[in-house]
């Protein structure tokens, strides 16, 4: 019988208090992370150095006793494996070249061996995790990864990728197919190396029309979920389509995910009423409420728990933890949840 709280919730059980972990829980708000990050030299070097990536994955577990550890890596290792050059410009974020807006997919030389250090990180973390802690792997969803590959960087409205999807659907579809195939291989590799859950991050799904959402978010996500389950029946997959709003209902119904992550803009009471009965949900504390702390944080935590009472629930943020969140506020959150 499964004893890990997070896996029990993903199997449909309601627990009080709910299990908790935080997106970006290994990050700059922790002094111990900043120390390792400085030693690594660059963010990408940190992602690709298994000893260091494993260390920062484990840091928040040691400090806070979260119910899950999430692999420390980045969603853009997949385009790197597909053959794009990847680097992080200091203070400006990721860069990818060549831009797929003007480059044929055939011009790239795939380099899947670039993912091997990440899989070694998984093996090292798995060997060191406390037995009650669930290990979460992840990948970016095909739509979100494609927006970076097309533009060569992050963008405010993903207009270049959205335009390409409308104007050149066949070429855009080929790019999505390549991302899907690489993502399936990558996630199956993480599972073989020891993760027990995977989360699919669709950070930019909120800019798509309903028709485009079905084509470029729901359908590719379904293919990934089906491929994982073909090899590992019943394996838990958390889907996080940030900004999806009312489209969450169709996403939950059609993708086959085990649980849906709610961003901070979703009313949890609406989600509880609208989503399929018994489907586990994850979320959705506003990261700014965590930064605020005090009575505002307590009220926000209580409101989410009340709204989702009776539904299997994993407590989390609605997006990643902010770098300037005081450690004391995370401790307050855990105290409020766990009593």
Catalytically annotated residue among 33, 148, 186, 251: 148
Residue 286 near residue 271, CB atoms below 8 Å: no
Catalytically annotated residue among 74, 202, 263, 286: 74
Residue 225 near residue 264, CB atoms below 8 Å: no
What are the tokens at 209? 């029309």
The answer to whether 74 is a known catalytic residue is yes
The answer to whether 28 is a known catalytic residue is yes
Catalytically annotated residue among 14, 28, 63, 214: 28
- 3-class secondary structure for the chain? CCCCHHHHHHCCCCCCCCCECCCCCCCCCCHHHHHHHHHHCCHHHHHCCHHHHHHHHHHHHHHHCCCEEECCCCCCHHHHHHCCEEEEECCCEEEEECCCCCCCHHHCCCCHHHHHHHHHHHHHHHHHCCCCCEEEEEEECHHHHHHHHHHCCCCCCCHHHHHHHHHCHHHHHHHHHHHHHHHHHHHHHHHHHCCCEEEEEECCHHHCCHHHHHHHHHHHHHHHHHHHHHHCCCCCEEEEECCCHHHHHHHHHHHCCCEEECCCCCCHHHHHHHCCCCCCEEEEECHHHHHHCHHHHHHHHHHHHHHCCCCCEEEEECCCCCCCCCHHHHHHHHHHHHC
CA gap 5, 11 in Å, rounded: 10
The answer to whether 148 is a known catalytic residue is yes
CA gap 166, 212 in Å, rounded: 9
Catalytically annotated residue among 8, 29, 33, 37: 37
Catalytically annotated residue among 24, 162, 223, 311: 24
The answer to whether 336 is a known catalytic residue is no
Residue 260 near residue 311, CB atoms below 8 Å: no
What are the tokens at 86? 């990847």
CA gap 225, 198 in Å, rounded: 10
Catalytic positions, please? 24, 28, 37, 74, 148
């Amino acid at each position: 019988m499964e004893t890990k709280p997070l896996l029990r919730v993903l199997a449909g059980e309601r627990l009080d208090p709910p299990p908790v972990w935080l997106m970006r829980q290994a990050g700059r708000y922790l002094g111990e992370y900043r120390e390792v990050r400085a030693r690594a030299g660059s963010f990408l070097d940190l992602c690709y150095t298994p000893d260091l990536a494993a260390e920062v994955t484990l840091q928040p577990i040691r400090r806070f006793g979260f119910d899950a550890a999430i692999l420390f890596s980045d969603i853009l290792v997949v385009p790197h494996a597909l053959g794009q050059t990847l680097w992080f410009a200091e203070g400006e974020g990721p860069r990818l070249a060549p831009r797929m807006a003007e480059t044929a997919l055939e011009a790239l030389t795939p380099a899947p061996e670039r993912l091997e250090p990440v899989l070694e990180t998984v093996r090292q973390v798995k060997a060191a995790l406390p037995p009650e802690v669930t290990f979460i792997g992840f990948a970016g969803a095909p739509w979100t990864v494609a927006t970076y590959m097309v533009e060569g960087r992050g963008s405010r409205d993903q207009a270049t990728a959205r335009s390409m999807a409308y104007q050149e659907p066949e070429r855009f579809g080929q790019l999505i197919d390549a991302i899907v195939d690489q993502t399936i291989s990558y996630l199956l590799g993480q599972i073989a190396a020891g993760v027990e859950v995977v989360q699919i991050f669709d950070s930019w799904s909120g800019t798509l029309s309903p028709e485009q959402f079905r084509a470029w978010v729901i359908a590719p996500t379904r293919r990934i979920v089906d491929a994982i389950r073909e090899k590992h029946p019943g394996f838990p997959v958390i889907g996080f389509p940030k900004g999806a709003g009312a489209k969450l209902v169709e996403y939950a119904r059609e993708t086959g995910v085990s649980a849906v992550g709610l961003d901070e803009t979703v009313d949890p009471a609406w989600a509880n009423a609208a989503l399929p009965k018994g489907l586990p949900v994850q979320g959705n504390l506003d990261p700014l409420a965590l930064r605020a702390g005090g009575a505002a944080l307590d009220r926000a935590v209580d409101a989410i728990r009340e709204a989702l009472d009776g539904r299997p629930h994993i407590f989390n943020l609605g997006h990643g933890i902010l770098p300037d969140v005081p450690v004391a506020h995370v401790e307050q959150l855990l105290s409020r949840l766990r009593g």
